[in-house]
Structure 1
Amino acid sequence: MLRLMKLELKKFKLGWYVKRAIIANIVILALLIFVSFVSQIEGDPEIRDPQAILLMASTLVRATFIIFGSVLIARLIISEYKNKTILLMFSYPINRRKMMSSKLAITATLTFLTVILSNILVVGVFFGIDSYFSILPNLFTVDQLTQEGIKLVPLAIATAGMSLIPLYFGMRKRSVPTTIVSSLIVVSIAMNSNPTFTTATFLPLQLALAAIGVVIAYYGIKNIEKEDVTV
């Protein structure tokens, strides 16, 4: 499996993913700073609360990389069916299920790692800027950062699972746009937020959606032998 994953990574040269992940982090950080400054001018205490900033950072990061996950699925799997290059891959003496498993493992693993690293990077840099420029009226407390750290891993695992949901829609239509649009629907459900309740930190829902993603991946791997690659 690891060997297949290495071959896939070498084949698709995922440097573009790293570059765009860095750009996404910069955009998220800039957005947090902008919102904080605007709320400072308008005197909105709710948005300037450190807990609100932590929630916003976590939500934006996870939403971004669910979409990135759909792009990975589109590139690693859907586009190969669409361009018929999957025919060449299936001509190799390699089990189809292992091949599909390696592609989905790359998607889930990269999503998990980038969510973890991006949260640490975005919050860490914002914390550093805030301690110097005093963007927020109150500093982040150790307890707030500790609680955020405790939630980070299970939420990152859930995000990795959710990133697999677009596989179902992409395989049905063999369409790259459908794959990516479906991730936007997942984000709208998983990261919905309003003044009274937010689904972004409601762990039971996050894990339920992740379980759906895992089931979709399982059946995608299980049924790969039956897929008509000529369609």
Structure 2
Amino acid sequence: MLNLIRIELFKLKRRSKFIGILITLILSSLIILPVLYSDEKLSSWNAVIILSFAVISLITNVFTCILSGELFMEEYKTKTINIMFTYPISRTKIYFSKLFVMGLYCGIISILGAIIFFSVANIANYIHPAITDAFTKDMLIKVLVLALLYSIFNSFVSIIYSFFSTVKVSIPLMVVCCILILNSTSNNDVMSFSPYALIPLAITIISTILLIPIIRHLNIKDVI
């Protein structure tokens, strides 16, 4: 399993995915600047946290949607997956190795995004104060917890994208699904007790259920 994960990571390393993620996060973090100093500016760190993770989650979802197409749909379309199937390796293990890599990148984006976004917000607020409250220890704990929760949630979302990449093999459906997920989870404080906070939980449950048809399909699909 570890060797399979290394192979998938090597594939992504050759495609320079990390550099693209880093540049995207840095450019996206600059959205905080006009928001901080607009007429309806963000006056609290809690508002900054919600906005930051909404943007980070958007970037993560779009990236995992694209990545799912490359790791699953493209390999089946070009039949490069046949190389893996020539070895006595379970197709289920191959699938979960790809899924693990997608989850790993979800975690990287969430953590790296949090560092970049709050660094930009802190520097901007230090140069020209706009946020009225202080960044407390409780705020830091909330950022860390949210980074973990969004990493886990987006990892489960990648299962849905893999469903449309393997079973349905439809890019339009995958894009529509991505848009629906973004619309249902944007600006949603998952740590609150509002009904909207249950939406990510429902999506996570649906993702888990989709593992059944995905694994069944992969084990019977003939790509030769």
**TM-score normalised to structure 1 length:** 0.83
The number of residues matched between the two structures is 220
Which amino acid in 2 is paired with 1:216? L
1:68 matched to 2:58 = no
**How far apart are residue 144 of structure 1 and its match?**
2.6
Q: Decide which of 184, 187, 193 is 2:179's aligned counterpart.
A: 184
Are the structure 2 counterparts of residues 153 and 11 from structure 1 closer, same or farther at C-alpha, using a change threshold of 3 Å? Answer: closer
Aligned 8 A contact 1:72 1:107 in 2:
yes
Equivalent-residue separation in structure 1 for 2:201 and 2:214 (angstroms): 20
User: What do you get for the CA RMSD once the two structures are aligned?
Assistant: 2.4
Aligned twin of 2:157 = 162
Aligned 8 A contact 2:61 2:182 in 1:
yes
Equivalent-residue separation in structure 2 for 1:9 and 1:150 (angstroms): 26
Q: Sequence identity, in percent? A: 24
Equivalent-residue separation in structure 2 for 1:214 and 1:110 (angstroms): 19
**How far apart are residue 208 of structure 1 and its match?**
2.6
Are the structure 2 counterparts of residues 2 and 14 from structure 1 closer, same or farther at C-alpha, using a change threshold of 3 Å? Answer: same
Aligned twin of 2:10 = 10
Which amino acid in 1 is paired with 2:221? E
Equivalent-residue separation in structure 2 for 1:67 and 1:5 (angstroms): 22
**How far apart are residue 160 of structure 1 and its match?**
1.7
1:220 matched to 2:221 = no
Q: Decide which of 181, 200, 204 is 1:210's aligned counterpart.
A: 204
Aligned twin of 1:29 = 29
Deviations 1:165-220 (A, max 9, x none): 112222244244543442222212222x4xxxx46555432233123223324542
Equivalent-residue separation in structure 1 for 2:141 and 2:13 (angstroms): 36
**How far apart are residue 149 of structure 1 and its match?**
2.7
Deviations 1:4-60 (A, max 9, x none): 0101222343553211211221122111112222x2xx2x25x33322111000111
Secondary structure of 2:159's aligned partner? coil
Are the structure 2 counterparts of residues 205 and 94 from structure 1 closer, same or farther at C-alpha, using a change threshold of 3 Å? Answer: same
* Structure 1: gaps spanning 5 or more residues: none
Equivalent-residue separation in structure 1 for 2:11 and 2:139 (angstroms): 42
Aligned 8 A contact 1:165 1:183 in 2:
no
Aligned twin of 1:132 = 127
Equivalent-residue separation in structure 2 for 1:70 and 1:136 (angstroms): 34
Secondary structure of 2:43's aligned partner? coil
Deviations 1:103-127 (A, max 9, x none): 1111112112321221133113321
Aligned 8 A contact 1:199 1:205 in 2:
no
* Structure 2: gaps spanning 5 or more residues: none
**TM-score normalised to structure 2 length:** 0.85
Aligned 8 A contact 1:48 1:136 in 2:
yes
Residue pairs, 1:144-155, within 5 angstroms: 144-155=139-150
**How far apart are residue 69 of structure 1 and its match?**
1.0
1:111 matched to 2:106 = yes
Equivalent-residue separation in structure 2 for 1:11 and 1:25 (angstroms): 22
Aligned 8 A contact 2:164 2:171 in 1:
no
